[in-house]
Chains A and B, each alone.
Chain A
Amino acid sequence: MEDLATATELRKLIFELTKADVTQVGPSEDLMDTLGLDSLSGLRLLALVEKKFSVRFQDEELTSLRSIEALVLAILRARSVTAGSKS
């Protein structure tokens, strides 16, 4: 359930940023290619995702976060790391 809610929030955010029809984008589709994002727009998206979901991705994984599926997994992973560090 958590990943479905996260994916929905994520799609909303991508729409706000790109104004593209994200309902047609499959979970594993490459966002950069499908939405025609240049590399800096891709990084802007990652920055806004971090801000919106209050997470911080590992620098090493930034290059691979190119689909909704990958982003959802990274958000959940980052949240669990944050929660783990707080407990």
Chain B
Amino acid sequence: MKIALIAMSGVRVRTEELAKLGVTLPGFVNRGKVVASLPSLGLLTVAGLTPGEHEVKYIEFDDLPPEGTPLERFDLVGISSFTARINAAYRLADRYRQMVVPVVLGGIHVSLRPDEAEAHADAIVVNGAEGAWPQLLKDFEAGQMKKRYIGATDQVFSPDLYSFPRFDLLKGRPYNRLTVQTSRGCPLNCEFCAASVRITKKFQQKPVELVINEMEAALKVAEHPFFELADDNTFVNKAWGKEFLKAVTPLKLHWFTETDISVADDEELLNLLAKSGCRQILVGLESPDPRALHGMNPNDWKARRQATYLESIRKIQSKGITVNGCFIVGLDTDTPETIKYIKDFVDESELIETQITVSTPFPGTPMWQRMKDAGRLLYSEYNDRCTLFDVNFQPVKMTVDELDQGIQWLFTNLYSEQEFLKRKRRYMDIVKNLEET
């Protein structure tokens, strides 16, 4: 059987002024290019779950092929995408189904909005593919494919469910960025999060040996690869973290991951992190204002940690590990003054990199439900505006226009050529002060 696994990528900002800024500001353009170059680890895992007798082709579409262009024919097509491109994924699914090619849709958006997705597919997979895809294929071959399959939400890295991602399908791809997952879920469970926490019952960590095996396999398909760990919070478990860092160091890789600010609490972990080739950690600081963080997590973890932000950033970066501090603009306590405060905080913290996004109620998340119930959503359907840069809700303490203007002001002031060079110089000065240099 010939199976296509198609990733629909390529986010486009909808707000015109912001789209114009996005192509001119170096700090913004660089990260955009990186994100666009990341493969779909989810689909490579689906490929790994596919029995060897089937032929699998991994495809990435940045744009839909023009209407009327013939699509390559397969026996079965699997499509995955994130919310901002899910409408394009639905259009592609509809085109394949018109060709009488059965389509399966999966991914986090599909898991959060199964009823919506089902209208465009012969079958959908809710949650991860583990525990669902192998059965779906068996049923399909027997002519008995069901409309909906529910994947595992627990023990996904256990031998019964785990599958090695098919990195070999990336051979010849023009990018050297590769992704490996070490965990699924995040115990912080932020209200806005639309990542793997939504498809897992609890935080799950892959055994170190499996992670290293995957990295070694991935090393065979790309020259000088840069690894991005496709995790939401890699170093929740510090003991696991140290074991992993000791194992990854000999591979002499350069890599990036997402985690929380508590890595700064553990000196041994930080030293191992610095030695391991970790170039950057992305940390969701969300806001420099503790009032904005209150109620974000069930146990108020981020609000309680806010007072440590400045010292923690300094400590992490002093080891030569850059912190990409992420801030969300438009939280319920934010006013136009908060936007200036974010800029001041970024300056004071000397963050080497900063990511600014607008608060986004991704459909199906607790935040979306809360805003929907309060009548604050600006559109009944806005999947393609879930770019993290377009405003889709009514803020509490400012107007939509003030929020839009505030984001543009922050972009202009944080991602300018001058700021970009300032951060580069700051990083170089840190490197020069490291003992081993």
CB distance from B291 to the nearest CB of A (A): 34
Q: Are B280 and A40 in contact (CB under 8 A)?
A: yes
Asked if A36 meets B224 with Cβ closer than 8 Å, knowing A44-B431, A47-B437, the reply is yes
Q: Are A43 and B427 in contact (CB under 8 A)?
A: yes
Q: Are B224 and A43 in contact (CB under 8 A)?
A: no
Q: Are A38 and B422 in contact (CB under 8 A)?
A: no
Q: Are A38 and B421 in contact (CB under 8 A)?
A: no
CB-CB under 8 A from B30, the residues of chain A are 39
**A59 and chain B: residue at smallest CB distance:** B421
Asked if A46 meets B279 with Cβ closer than 8 Å, knowing A36-B223, A36-B224, A38-B226, the reply is no
Partner of B428, one of A35, A46, A63: A46
CB distance from B170 to the nearest CB of A (A): 15
Instruction: Give residues 223-282 of B contacting A (CB, 8 Å).
Output: 223-226, 252, 254, 279-280
User: In the complex the two chains form, what is the Cα distance from A50 to B431 in whole Å?
Assistant: 11
Asked if A48 meets B437 with Cβ closer than 8 Å, knowing A36-B223, A39-B30, A40-B322, the reply is yes
User: In the complex the two chains form, what is the Cα distance from A29 to B212 in whole Å?
Assistant: 33
Whether, in the assembled complex, A86 has its beta carbon less than 8 Å from a beta carbon of chain B, the answer is no
Partner of A59, one of B223, B224, B424, B437: B424
Interface string of A29-66 (1 = CB under 8 A from B): 00000011111110110111011000000011011000
Q: Are A59 and B425 in contact (CB under 8 A)?
A: yes
Partner of A47, one of B225, B252, B279, B431: B431
Asked if A35 meets B224 with Cβ closer than 8 Å, knowing A41-B254, A59-B424, the reply is yes
**A35 and chain B: residue at smallest CB distance:** B224
User: In the complex the two chains form, what is the Cα distance from A35 to B280 in whole Å?
Assistant: 19
CB distance from B232 to the nearest CB of A (A): 22
Whether, in the assembled complex, B357 has its beta carbon less than 8 Å from a beta carbon of chain A, the answer is no
User: In the complex the two chains form, what is the Cα distance from A41 to B279 in whole Å?
Assistant: 8
Whether, in the assembled complex, B416 has its beta carbon less than 8 Å from a beta carbon of chain A, the answer is no
Whether, in the assembled complex, B20 has its beta carbon less than 8 Å from a beta carbon of chain A, the answer is no
CB distance from B424 to the nearest CB of A (A): 5
Instruction: Give residues 387-437 of B contacting A (CB, 8 Å).
Output: 421-422, 424-425, 427-429, 431-432, 437
**B226 and chain A: residue at smallest CB distance:** A38
User: In the complex the two chains form, what is the Cα distance from A59 to B223 in whole Å?
Assistant: 30
CB-CB under 8 A from B176, the residues of chain A are 36
Sampled A-B contacts (6; CB under 8 Å) = A36-B223, A37-B224, A43-B431, A47-B437, A48-B437, A63-B421
| Top 9 A-B residue pairs of the complex, sorted by shortest distance between their CB atoms | A36-B224, A47-B428, A47-B431, A40-B279, A59-B421, A38-B226, A51-B432, A47-B432, A59-B425
Q: Are A38 and B254 in contact (CB under 8 A)?
A: yes
Q: Which B positions have Cβ atoms within 8 angstroms of A?
A: 30, 176, 223-226, 252, 254, 279-280, 322, 421-422, 424-425, 427-429, 431-432, 437
Query: How many pairs of A and B residues are in contact by the CB < 8 Å rule?
Result: 50
User: In the complex the two chains form, what is the Cα distance from A78 to B334 in whole Å?
Assistant: 46
CB-CB under 8 A from B226, the residues of chain A are 36, 38
Q: Are B431 and A48 in contact (CB under 8 A)?
A: yes
Q: Are B254 and A51 in contact (CB under 8 A)?
A: no
Q: Interface extent on A, as a size class?
A: 20 to 34
Q: Are A43 and B421 in contact (CB under 8 A)?
A: no
User: In the complex the two chains form, what is the Cα distance from A31 to B150 in whole Å?
Assistant: 48
CB-CB under 8 A from B224, the residues of chain A are 20, 35-37
CB-CB under 8 A from A51, the residues of chain B are 432, 437
Partner of A19, one of B252, B424, B425: B252
Given contacts A38-B254, A40-B280, A51-B437, 9 further A-B contacts (CB under 8 A): A19-B252, A36-B176, A36-B225, A39-B30, A40-B427, A41-B254, A41-B279, A48-B432, A48-B437
**B222 and chain A: residue at smallest CB distance:** A36
User: In the complex the two chains form, what is the Cα distance from A20 to B254 in whole Å?
Assistant: 14
CB-CB under 8 A from A38, the residues of chain B are 226, 254, 279
CB-CB under 8 A from A60, the residues of chain B are 421
Q: Are A59 and B254 in contact (CB under 8 A)?
A: no
CB-CB under 8 A from A40, the residues of chain B are 254, 279-280, 322, 427
CB distance from A50 to the nearest CB of B (A): 7
CB distance from A58 to the nearest CB of B (A): 10
CB-CB under 8 A from A39, the residues of chain B are 30
CB distance from B325 to the nearest CB of A (A): 15
**A52 and chain B: residue at smallest CB distance:** B437
CB-CB under 8 A from A47, the residues of chain B are 427-429, 431-432, 437
User: In the complex the two chains form, what is the Cα distance from A71 to B412 in whole Å?
Assistant: 30
CB distance from A45 to the nearest CB of B (A): 9
**A18 and chain B: residue at smallest CB distance:** B224
